[in-house]
Amino acid sequence: MQPSTLSILLIISISFTIITSAAAYKPEIIKSDAASLSLGSTDYGNIVHDIPLGVAYPSTEKDVVELIRASHASGEPFAVAARGRGHSVRGQAMAGGGVVVDMTSLGKGKGKERIRIDLEGMYADVGGEQLWVDVLKEATAVGVAPVSWTDYVYLSVGGTLSNAGISGQAFMHGPQISNVVELDVVTGKGEFMTCSRTRNPELFFGVLGGLGQFGIITRARIVLDKAPTRVKWAKLLYSDFTTFTRDQEHLISNNASNYVEGFIVTNENAASDWTSSSPSRKAEVAALLKKQGVLYYIELVKYYDNNTAATIDQEFDTLLKELKYMSGYNATTDASFVEFIDESGDIDNGTPPLPSHPWLNLFIPKSTIVEFNAGVLAGMLPKLNDTSGIFIFYPFNRNKWDDRMTAVVPDEEVFYTLAALHTTPQDGYKSMDEFNNEILEFCKSKGLKVKQYLPNIKSKKEWMDHFGTKWEIVEKRKAMFDPKNILSPGQRIFN
């Protein structure tokens, strides 16, 4: 539930007393009014509401440095969590009893100053608080673009880089963290450090996919390439799981396409791309769903521009002929590159009561996907009888991930992600949590070595199991860069 009026008043009465105990800090940028505390204790998931002592609104990186130095120097350090767009789903960007840093304040009134495109070096220097959609607009305006995206681009650069940042381009270019060449970071000691693969590499590799544990990203230098102008975009329906995954793996092995994602169809509404214009197709899909409970589809995109416009149709048709989707179930469109990347638009939750989003995101080794499909995709998802979820399932090439980074993935050449993106009424998320736990228990009972992405992990032992052989490195980096456990307590790794 939202923080009560009484709890907010109590927080207001004590917050400045505790925070200003660090004399070096500027208390004037911390706010403890009701609106600020509501902001700091709310995220997209709308499940966890952990009330901070206050919310900091920095105007410069120096403000962030001084805040963390004040905590680090204090006899009783207070927790600090960076908040970008607040799109976490389990309170990961919260700091109960501490300070939430509203990173968007760094960019207010500065606009393009915090996004600088270098066409000679083919990179963008971007403030950690900036949204990917704004990077998209600024870069494509001069004919370039980042090569790796997230499906939803109204997220902060620092936020996605603290996790990994994945979408259908990652099979070719790797996740977003694989396409960063330099960072500015404020560590848990309040040190402002520039880092790269060769300069302060321990911090660089630690922060990328580091869940905010080692530092706050205030600037990222992101790789750019020539931007396409348009895309050919197809949705291909499958009734057989093996054919569906074989085609996806074929597509990610030959680089003939630019984007590949798979989806799970558990109801007729999710099949509307193929059934809305044909009663016979609607009947066929309904019969298949009744028989086997689930269908699958691949979303496939190929980029082009004016130089390749004359040949794109032939190239795309040749690509589709290599695939074994259900005959006639091919929905193809043409769109601008910007329209495709910004497909979802900005999510507007409307007015209260807001929904909850008890998401589950997993990485699954290729060697276990048949068993995973039987138990989870075909065995459990159809039982939800719910149209308020999106289920995404697609593969990655592990060689596009840098194992020196903190992000954890299965140890197989190819692995898949399941994104179970549930939406429920706020008071209905517990039943979906139970469902998610059933999936995790199934994986555990069958010995499927899945890894959580955007993890929701509650105990130290579970975190040690999650990181596996990287746990000692994570502990070492924490001791180096945040020895007093100040940063990102909402992840519940060291706090």
Our answer to whether residue 348 is catalytic in this structure is no
Our answer to whether residue 466 is catalytic in this structure is no
DSSP bridge partners of 356 = 424
Q: Whole-angstrom Cα distance, residue 380 to residue 400?
A: 31
pLDDT at 234: 97
Select from 174, 205, 227 the last residue of a domain: 227
Which residue's structure tokens are 């996806």?
248
With the C-alpha atoms ordered 449, 452, 456, 459, is the resulting torsion angle positive or negative? positive
3-state secondary structure 372-431: HHHHHHCCCHHHHCCCCEEEEEEEEEHHHCCCCCCCCCCCCCEEEEEEEEECECHHHHHH
Q: How many residues are there in the chain?
A: 495
Query: Considering the domain boundaries, does residue 68 fall inside one?
Result: yes
pLDDT at 113: 81
Do residues 169 and 204 share a domain? Answer: yes
Q: Whole-angstrom Cα distance, residue 252 to residue 394?
A: 10
pLDDT at 111: 61
Query: Considering the domain boundaries, does residue 378 fall inside one?
Result: no
Active-site choice (151, 240, 412, 462): 151
Please provide the distance, in angstroms rounded to a whole number, between the alpha carbons at the two ends of the chain. Answer: 23
Closest to 433 (Cα-Cα) out of 359, 355, 361: 359
Q: Whole-angstrom Cα distance, residue 82 to residue 187?
A: 12
Query: What are residue 356's phi and psi, to 5 degrees?
Result: -110, 160
3-state secondary structure 159-195: HHHCCCCCCCCHHHHCCHHHHEEEEEEEECCCCEEEE
Query: Considering the domain boundaries, does residue 373 fall inside one?
Result: no
Do residues 269 and 314 share a domain? Answer: yes
Select from 227, 243, 261 the last residue of a domain: 227
Domain that holds residue 46: 5-104+484-491
What DSSP designation does 157 have?
A: H
pLDDT at 20: 52
216-269 residue pLDDT tens: 999 999 999 999 999 999 999 999 999 999 999 999 999 999 999 999 999 888
Do residues 337 and 235 share a domain? Answer: yes
Active-site choice (50, 102, 261, 299): 261
pLDDT at 223: 98
Please state whether the peptide bond connecting residue 353 to the residue before it is cis, i.e. omega within 30 degrees of 0.
Answer: yes
Do residues 38 and 117 share a domain? Answer: no
Q: Within the chain, which residues score under 50 in pLDDT?
A: 1, 5-14, 16-17, 21-23
pLDDT at 112: 66
Do residues 218 and 289 share a domain? Answer: no
Do residues 13 and 74 share a domain? Answer: yes
Q: Whole-angstrom Cα distance, residue 299 to residue 345?
A: 18
Do residues 250 and 206 share a domain? Answer: no
pLDDT at 4: 52
Do residues 167 and 148 share a domain? Answer: yes
Query: What Rg, from alpha-carbon coordinates, does the chain have?
Result: 23
Active-site choice (87, 173, 357, 422): 87
Domain count along the chain: 3
Do residues 42 and 142 share a domain? Answer: no
Q: Residue 101 in contact with residue 82, Cβ under 8 Å?
A: yes
Closest to 259 (Cα-Cα) out of 239, 235, 276: 235
pLDDT at 271: 87
- The CATH number assigned to the domain holding 202 equals 3.30.465.10
Our answer to whether residue 87 is catalytic in this structure is yes
